[in-house]
Chain A
Amino acid sequence: MDNYRPLPGTLLEDLDTPSLIVDLNALDHNLQSVTDLYKDTVCKMRQHTKNIKSPRLALRQINMGGTVGGVCTAKLSEAEVMVEGGVNDVLIPNQVVHPDKISRMCALAKQADIKVCVDNIENVKIISSIASNHSVEIGILIEVDTQMGRAGVRSNEEGVAIAKMTQELPGVKFKGVMSHQSLPEFIDHEDRWKIGRDTIQICLDVKNAIELEGIPVEIVSSGETFTIDVATQIPGVTEVEGGTYALMGHRYDYMGYKIANKILTTVISNPSDCKFIGDVGTSAHSWAGIAPTVYSRTDVKIDKFFENHVVFSTDKANSLSIGDKLLLEPDYQDMLVNRWDQYICVRNGIVEEVWDIPGRGCTQ
């Protein structure tokens, strides 16, 4: 594990490279936007920590406001990190199926309010039995597959059957329904709103079917960054699992949040007139198909990434020099943050704080 801790007051341009930088002004702008948006709405934010991996950052949003007071995490191990970091309400919008892991989840439920998503009756039965042995209660949400073709029930009937079973079993408490949509690109604003509404409606259909059976549905947990605003306009949705919005990637520029996470890199070689090599590659930056953008240098393009190097091309010769530092703004930040152990937090070009990323690598 790396442990680079530049002193507060260090200038951005004096930092060692490559480094993961967080622009605090941009971050706070993004968090404040959510606080403002959800100020008077029924629907609140349940920040997804897969994109930030830091309880400190999650608590910053919780303290600012607009949230349900808790987070959601990709995995059980990430939930443990959040609880250790002071978050006391965690939803795992994923399946925890192995008995070892369920035991560990039950141990965590002694310290915090833990909820998990299921899409299979057998899974609920095992959670019930282990939770009963531990004398804890695990909140249960039914995951609904709205269009991803991933996990989740695919009919109202399946959802109703699991809800009924959950009602009857000890150690588990039926809480609601959850769905996640993943659509990086939209043709236009209307398209985004239409797809957002249509997909969330599939989840609401399951909720309505369960309620028709006389089972109350307390939580409808939906989504992702692209429906942060859409969800507030859909009656019934109680919370949104936004993740990317906090640190942002250019893929979601249409949402209006600012890019807060950037990679600082140094030019270390100049093989030919308009080609330059930077000291960051796929291992530190990650790659999901689209290159990052070079901050405030429209004349510098990214050609390719090697494992430990990036190749820049410039419009004109000599427009960069060896030793120059550049900031790369990711297209997609989820996999990038997961490669790093610290955020170097910078405001107006000066280091203000260094935050650990204890959730990095928590895939279990």
Chain B
Amino acid sequence: MERPIFKDIGTQEIELDTPGLMIDLDFLEYNLNYMNTFIESKGLNVKPYVGAHGSPAIAHKQVEYSSTSGITVSTLGQAEVFAQNGLNDIFISNIIYNKSKIKRLCSLAKNVNITLLVDNLSNAQDLSDAAKFSGVEINILLVIRCYEDSLGVLPGTEAQEICNNLVNLPGVNFQGLFGKYINNYVSESGPEDNSYNVSEFNKKNKESVEFAQKILNFREQIQINGIDVNSVVYGSTYDYLDVASLSGITDIVAGSYALMDAKYKALRTEFKNAARVMTCVTSLPTSKTIITDGGRKAIGGDLGSPEASIKGAIVTGLSAEHGNIEFEWENENLKLGDRIWCIPYDITACVNLHDYMFGIRGGTLESIWNLPARGHYR
């Protein structure tokens, strides 16, 4: 667990302990309001991906701002934690295979509306058997596969056959289709693909819309064959704007918009960077270099480098426990103990390192939120 020095509400931000995850509450509320107003104007729903902040407090705000009660998580363990914290309509954007997990899922479904992904009929059969045995209903979305190596099935005869079977299975309630085109990944050939590059942005968005259209065409086809499709769940903060204009999409899954991060900063300028890790200058080795107490374990560096929030300062290295920051000018004014804020590259990776977030308004501490779903990978 993080062990910060806790201070009274009303304390100035710079007096708080470092490294600490600071949330600008005005910016957060602005982002939630912006997204919900837009999505509602399109007649759609947001199913916010709460893994992008990890906070039940923010999840409740998201529900409050929107017209639906639904949230999205990525594991059963996270669903359990958010359910215990009062969220009652949870979409687990994942496949649950293991039998003991399926039992936990059915137990959860006694109190909470659960939606889950499937891409395989034998898995659906297991879910059906367990749900029937427990006397619960589990909502199912079929994942449509967009790459050779992602979850899901291609829109075609195999998918059609799974749908035909799903509608007849007891205990599971076939709701519709799910797809995700924009998906962060890392591989040995580089930190990830270049989708977060401004020049690639329009191209990627276009591809995502084309893929969404394939899902919508498939929906039409199965509807002609007599299958009801209530939901088509799709999208992310990256592509929500283009996707929301497609007729037939019902729900947008987006997460990063709430707190934002460095990778989306130049691409989604309608949202404000609400999350920053406050770090402390611990060493001043040269007049242009500082070392801080915020490294990969505090800011996250799996997917890319954070951005220092001082103009002309660049995070040149992030080791496990330290940050190296280089300045364009001689930094005569900086002293040991001074605060430096860093915008994490990927917000989901960053919040997974923290147990607390500190809500700041007008430069002072307004709230301390815990992140109880952290580490629930199962």
Binding site for B on A (CB under 8 A): 1-2, 4, 16-19, 50, 74-75, 77, 80-81, 94-101, 104, 119-120, 122-123, 145, 149-152, 154, 182, 266, 268-272, 275, 277, 279-280, 282-284, 286-291, 303-309, 311, 313, 322-323, 334-335, 338-341, 358, 360-364
Contact = CB atoms under 8 A, between A and B. Distances in A.
B303 A150 contact: no
A94 B319 contact: no
A151 B282 contact: yes
Interface residues of B, number: 74
B329 interface: no
Contacts of A122: 335-336
A97 B149 contact: no
Contacts of A120: 283-284, 336
A145 B375 contact: no
B186 interface: yes
A268 B97 contact: yes
Nearest to B99: A323
B293 interface: yes
Interface stretch (B1-9, B205-213, B227-235, B242-250): B1-9
Interface in B295-317: 295-298, 302-303, 317
Nearest to B184: A307
Given A269-B95, A286-B302, A338-B297, A364 B18 contact: yes
Looking at A97, A272, A288, which has the most chain B CB atoms within 10 Å of its CB? A97
A334 B320 contact: yes
B150 interface: yes
Contacts of A95: 282-283, 291, 293, 336
A74 B77 contact: no
Interface stretch (B32-40, B56-64, B132-140, B351-359): B351-359
A288 B376 CA distance: 21
B94 A308 contact: yes
B97 A266 contact: yes
Contact of B283 (A150, A289, A305, A341): A150
B188 interface: yes
B327 to A, nearest CB: 15
A18 B119 CA distance: 20
A98 B292 CA distance: 12
Given A339-B352, A363-B297, A149 B324 contact: yes
B269 interface: no
22 contacts: A1-B1, A16-B98, A74-B297, A75-B293, A97-B280, A101-B5, A119-B283, A151-B283, A268-B95, A271-B149, A275-B148, A282-B186, A286-B302, A289-B188, A291-B188, A306-B183, A307-B74, A308-B377, A322-B122, A361-B1, A363-B295, A364-B18
A364 B303 CA distance: 23
B337 interface: yes
Contacts of B42: none
B259 to A, nearest CB: 15
Contact of B145 (A271, A291, A304): A271
Nearest to B145: A271
A323 B145 contact: no
Looking at B95, B293, B324, B355, which has the most chain A CB atoms within 10 Å of its CB? B293
Nearest to B296: A335
A361 B94 contact: no
A335 B302 CA distance: 9
Nearest to B295: A363
Interface in B71-109: 74-75, 77, 94-95, 97-98, 100-101
Contacts of A305: 185-187
B120 interface: yes
A74 B285 contact: no
Contact of B285 (A2, A119, A266, A364): A119
B203 interface: no
Looking at A19, A151, A152, which has the most chain B CB atoms within 10 Å of its CB? A151
Contacts of B375: 1-2, 339-341, 360
A281 B46 CA distance: 25
B241 to A, nearest CB: 22
A99 B375 CA distance: 32
Given A95-B282, A362-B2, 10 more contacts: A96-B282, A98-B17, A149-B285, A150-B283, A271-B145, A275-B149, A306-B185, A307-B184, A339-B353, A361-B2
Contacts of A270: 120
Contact of A271 (B152, B293, B320, B374): B152
Contacts of A304: 149, 185-187
A74 B295 CA distance: 11
A312 to B, nearest CB: 9
A85 to B, nearest CB: 13
Looking at A100, A279, A283, which has the most chain B CB atoms within 10 Å of its CB? A283
B151 interface: yes
Contacts of A99: 337
Given A2-B377, A266-B97, A282-B302, A308 B74 contact: yes
B45 interface: no
Nearest to B5: A100
Nearest to A361: B2
A100 B20 CA distance: 14
Nearest to B150: A271
Given A98-B337, A151-B282, A361 B145 contact: no
Contacts of A308: 74-75, 94, 377
